């Protein structure tokens, strides 16, 4: 039985002046949905959020919502009001007679997000304002909760807390985020905003790559079939239309319409699958193996009579080609470390030695190098002119902007007109034109779309210099770094080899070792699941029971039967006209295919597990 419908939009059109954002846009939001809203920067994700809230009027179409449904929205920009305290801001949308009921929740959420409820909103940093906005959205507990980049400016500990909180959230979620791991952990449905329409996947974000590739492959096959049909019609027309028969003239008109529509759709498809193109230098000049060394460095700050230790007897040697990921709580010393590395700060005690000729390229999360009153052209070519130096070669500014998915016609637009993600893309374009021997990226993933993240990961994999990345994006760290510096607070910094997953495994193992005495009675056997999804311990050497023998015998039959179904589904999905003819049927078959493929994998793992038990016995 389908979950109750909370909100529906049908055949909607949204235009800004003469620019059309959406035409014939339709979607439904049901109770209990956990929707990952994905799409490129500028695709209209924020506009869609405003359609859901009702703040954006439709130029055509219908919007319906269930009577009494409440909608909360965490926006990217929070405006602080003079004299307003965090506590009052959080309670702004709560009815007066209900505030006492929600007071306990304010304490829970503000403590978890590490914000002071008695602080003035005007005294908070940008990151703290975002956390106050998130606290307000969570405390309101609306029926539909809209989150726009909720993980920005949060450290990993808070992100993991937020994941757990949202999994237990009773309402419906719609979330925009660049954080793949976060989206995969909280979502059970995908809204893919692509070329002004929404494609819906009935599974979570963890299946997005495979599903979207299948959709695009289907569209590519359809375009090729249409192209073949158009070529046949053009060949007919080239032989000449005999007489002025009405049916021949009409066929000629249809051929031209088909050709024009195919051309338009092919251009849109090519634009959708186009990736950001950027390259890095094949080699970077080096003169020393050592980039920088910290010797027994001590650094602290005084605030309101309280001393905060940032680094305490900290020592590290950074060598040429190192790929270091930095993580830790806000205020734990990550930015201080970077500023000492590039020479903007000096230690209170100890010594920082840097290679004299070392040059840095620095991506600042506050985008301080971007001047809002300058044009995109001026940003990339400060001295003027139409050409810029990119890795030793002259490139036209408009062509280089196009590489980063900017419309060349926007070259004269002001930086202030760009979205947050577009500003980050412009910063990357500027830095990657000529990256120095040491590349420092401070929270580079904020506000980026998935395509830009893929591009950035690819570029960093080719980069030959020394890379230092500050990020809370777990998947991004796994893909780009080989060493983790974990700032634990109170001057403590720990080093771990590998990416984030390796760091997590090491810290978990360390925690288990420390808690071993307390947990001595607890089983240490790894837990696995059987084909029904029930937890069970890993197999041990023993004679198989009759039940296990029977299961082992039946599993190959089950696998073969499901493989037959999978083959049938693949045959149906290979029909180029299937999606256009029956979109709902296409999505239903796609869901069944994914479910049965997962079932086959579970059965195969179960078969191997029982075989290991049998061989062990």
The residue behind tokens 């929070």 is 78
pLDDT over threshold 80, residue 472: yes
Closest CA to 341 of 352, 331, 330: 352
pLDDT of residue 443: 86
Domains 5-210 and 290-509 equal at CATH topology level:
yes
Cα separation, 186 vs 167, in Å, equals 6
Closest CA to 485 of 341, 283, 304: 341
- Token digits of residue 1: 């039985």
pLDDT of residue 524: 36
Cα separation, 425 vs 163, in Å, equals 27
pLDDT of residue 313: 86
Q: Which residue has the higher pLDDT, 562 or 8?
A: 8
Closest CA to 318 of 476, 443, 457, 439: 439
Q: How many CA atoms lie within 13 A of 180 on its CB side?
A: 17
Cα separation, 250 vs 255, in Å, equals 9
- Token digits of residue 577: 């006209």
Q: Which phi and psi angles does 539 have, rounded to 5°?
A: -65, 145
In sequence order, the β-bridge partners of residue 309 are 300
Which of 205-219, 257-271, 357-371, 520-534 comes out lowest in average pLDDT? 520-534
* Rg for the chain, CA atoms, rounded: 28
Q: 531-616 in CATH: which number?
A: 1.10.287.380
Class of domain 290-509: alpha beta
Neighbours of 606 (CB within 10 A): 20
H helix intervals, 114-194: 126-140, 156-167, 180-186
Residue 469 binned pLDDT confidence (cut-offs 50, 70, 90): very high
pLDDT over threshold 70, residue 252: no
Say if residues 149 and 138 touch (Cβ distance below 8 Å).
no
Domain boundaries, the chain: 5-210, 214-273, 290-509, 531-616
Cα separation, 432 vs 147, in Å, equals 31
pLDDT over threshold 60, residue 275: no
pLDDT over threshold 70, residue 546: no
How many residues in total does the chain contain? 617
Q: Which residue has the higher pLDDT, 234 or 444?
A: 444
The mean per-residue pLDDT over the stretch 454-482 comes to 87
Say if residues 528 and 538 touch (Cβ distance below 8 Å).
yes
pLDDT over threshold 70, residue 3: yes
What whole-number percentage of the chain has pLDDT above 70? Answer: 83
pLDDT of residue 424: 84
Q: Which residue has the higher pLDDT, 277 or 39?
A: 39
Pairing of strands 483-489, 323-328: parallel
DSSP string, 167-183: HT-SSEEEEE-S-HHHH
Pairing of strands 387-390, 393-396: antiparallel
pLDDT of residue 6: 94
pLDDT one-digit tens code per residue, 399-440: 888 878 788 888 888 988 887 778 888 888 888 888 888 899
Residue 529 binned pLDDT confidence (cut-offs 50, 70, 90): very low
pLDDT of residue 186: 93
pLDDT over threshold 90, residue 183: yes
Cα separation, 250 vs 245, in Å, equals 9
Q: What is the mean pLDDT of the chain?
A: 80
**Extended strands (E) in 435-580:** 438-442, 466-470, 483-489, 492-497, 527-529, 535-537
Rounded (5°) CA angle 431-432-433: 95
SS3 594: helix
pLDDT over threshold 80, residue 161: yes
pLDDT of residue 234: 67
pLDDT one-digit tens code per residue, 362-379: 888 777 788 888 999 999
Q: 5-210 in CATH: which number?
A: 3.40.50.300
pLDDT of residue 64: 94
Cα separation, 611 vs 166, in Å, equals 39
- Token digits of residue 304: 């309101």
pLDDT of residue 531: 41
pLDDT one-digit tens code per residue, 53-95: 999 999 999 999 999 899 989 877 788 888 889 888 888 877 7
């Amino acid at each position: 039985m389908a979950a109750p419908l909370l909100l529906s939009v049908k055949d909607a059109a949204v235009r800004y002046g003469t620019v059309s954002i959406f035409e014939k846009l339709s979607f439904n939001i049901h109770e209990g949905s956990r929707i990952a809203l994905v799409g490129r920067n500028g695709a209209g994700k924020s506009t869609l959020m405003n359609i859901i809230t009702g703040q954006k009027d439709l130029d055509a179409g219908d919007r319906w919502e269930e009577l009494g449904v409440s909608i909360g929205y965490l926006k990217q920009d929070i405006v602080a009001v003079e004299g307003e305290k965090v506590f009052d801001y959080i309670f702004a949308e709560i009815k007066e007679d209900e505030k006492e009921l929600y007071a306990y929740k304010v304490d829970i959420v503000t403590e978890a997000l590490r914000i002071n409820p008695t602080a003035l909103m005007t005294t908070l940093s940008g990151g703290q304002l975002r956390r106050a906005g998130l606290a307000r959205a969570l405390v309101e507990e609306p029926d539909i909760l809209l989150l726009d980049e909720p993980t920005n400016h949060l450290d990993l500990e808070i992100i993991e807390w937020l994941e757990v909180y949202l999994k237990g959230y009773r309402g419906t979620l719609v979330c925009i985020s660049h954080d793949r791991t976060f989206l995969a952990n909280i979502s059970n449905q995908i809204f893919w905003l692509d070329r002004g329409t929404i494609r819906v996947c009935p599974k979570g974000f963890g299946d997005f790559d495979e599903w979207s590739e299948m959709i695009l492959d289907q569209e590519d096959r359809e375009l090729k079939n249409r192209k073949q049909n158009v070529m046949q019609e053009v060949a007919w027309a080239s032989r000449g239309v005999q007489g002025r028969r009405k049916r021949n003239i009409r066929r000629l008109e249809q051929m031209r319409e088909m050709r024009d529509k195919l051309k338009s759709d092919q251009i849109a498809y090519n634009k959708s699958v186009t990736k950001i193109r950027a390259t890095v230098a094949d080699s970077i000049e080096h003169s020393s193996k050592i980039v920088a060394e910290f010797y027994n460095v001590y650094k602290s700050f005084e605030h309101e009579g309280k001393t905060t230790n940032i680094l305490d007897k900290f020592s590290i040697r950074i060598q040429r080609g190192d790929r270091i990921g930095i993580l830790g709580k806000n205020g734990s010393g990550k930015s201080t470390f970077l500023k000492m590395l590039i020479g903007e700060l000096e230690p209170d005690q100890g010594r920082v030695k840097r290679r004299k000729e070392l040059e840095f390229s620095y991506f600042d999360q506050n985008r301080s190098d971007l001047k809002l009153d300058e044009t995109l052209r001026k940003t990339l070519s400060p001295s003027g002119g139409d050409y810029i130096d990119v890795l030793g070669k002259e490139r036209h500014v408009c062509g280089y902007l196009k590489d980063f998915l900017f419309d060349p016609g926007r070259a004269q637009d002001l930086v202030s007109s760009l979205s947050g993600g577009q500003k980050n893309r412009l910063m990357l374009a500027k830095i990657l034109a000529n990256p120095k021997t040491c590349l420092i990226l401070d929270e580079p993933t904020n506000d980026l779309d998935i395509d830009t993240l893929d591009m950035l990961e690819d570029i960093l994999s080719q980069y030959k210099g020394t890379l230092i990345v500050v990020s809370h994006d777990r998947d991004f760290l796994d893909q780009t770094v080989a060493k983790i510096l974990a700032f634990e607070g109170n001057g403590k910094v720990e080093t771990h080899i590998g990416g984030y997953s390796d760091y997590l495994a090491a810290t978990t193992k360390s925690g288990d070792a420390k808690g071993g005495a307390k947990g001595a009675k607890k089983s240490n056997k790894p837990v696995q699941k059987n084909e029904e999804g029930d937890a069970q311990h890993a197999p041990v050497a023993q004679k198989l029971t009759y039940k296990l023998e029977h299961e082992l015998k039946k599993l190959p039959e089950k696998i073969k039967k499901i493989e037959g179904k999978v083959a049938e589904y693949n045959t149906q999905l290979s029909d180029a006209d299937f999606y256009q003819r029956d979109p709902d049927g296409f999505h239903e078959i796609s869901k069944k295919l994914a479910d049965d493929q997962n079932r086959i994998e579970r059965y195969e793992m179960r078969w191997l597990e029982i075989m290991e038990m049998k061989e062990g016995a």
